[in-house]
Structure 1
């Protein structure tokens, strides 16, 4: 029997950040079941670029708005329900934070220091991208 080629589903996400009193902070959100800390991500919408789609996810999942940096900071893969996903990650300097957004009742959000964000995130591939961000954090001239 011929083996089926696995389709890799494309997603994009952002690391929402801000600089407060000279320190860079990252906005983490929980998964819908509130078990793990993550950053906003989702499927790339047909007709939208990956950065624009990531900005849409940031609004829906975390209630934040900003201009996504179009330069990808990294990618990671994960498996869920037998499917493989590749996530293109971008940086989002947060300009607006709203208390009313589509998934407000489904997730918890929390601003944390960039190093704390690395400790809080469980997925090693996402940790790697956060560590890269720490090395280039805005207080270092990003």
Structure 2
């Protein structure tokens, strides 16, 4: 709650609020891209793992950490971000605009047990199916754009 109030104060001063996200992906047996979505822990909407930047950690490494904590996946984030999207987040009764830098995460291992297992579900989907389930239009567009050529 204290962090939320601090973020709201920063937003009211007109400063940008930032998060990082990971889009976990793998290639199926036919070489097609699959994307992992998770459910949010409050509304059960489909989202990608995301969170606040972490002190002493690059955005890319923070995205890898969020993917492990929220989705139980291990992998390597590509150096160049997939893109950026914005959304409105409700914090302490206020709405703040958040800009999210999105990194592709090449998944090498999916763990059956992880930190937020009891709070979330996860699903592997084609980019088109994943995009159809995502509420944020800009994020959906980024996911829809994923092809084998773009992720390799």
So what's the TM-score if we normalise by structure 1? Answer: 0.89
Distance of 2:56 and 2:116 partners within structure 1: 23
Between 1:113-122 and 1:23-32, the stretch displaced more is: 113-122
* Cα shift readout 1:73-101 (whole Å, capped 9, x = no counterpart): 11011111222211000101100100111
| Aligned counterpart, 2:101 | 88
Distance of 2:144 and 2:151 partners within structure 1: 16
| Aligned counterpart, 2:53 | 44
| Aligned counterpart, 2:18 | 10
Deviation at 1:7, TM superposition (A): 2.6
Structure 2 unaligned spans of 5+: 1-11
3-state SS, counterpart of residue 112 of structure 2 = coil
3-state SS, counterpart of residue 60 of structure 1 = helix
Contact 2:20–2:52 (CA under 8 A) maintained in structure 1: yes
Among 55, 66, 73, which residue is 2:64 paired with? 55
Between 1:61-70 and 1:114-123, the stretch displaced more is: 114-123
Distance of 1:103 and 1:38 partners within structure 2: 14
RMSD between aligned alpha carbons?
1.5
Structure 1 unaligned spans of 5+: none
| Count of aligned pairs between the two proteins | 136
So what's the TM-score if we normalise by structure 2? Answer: 0.83
Deviation at 1:138, TM superposition (A): 2.2
Map 1:110-121 to 2 at 5 A: 110-121=123-134
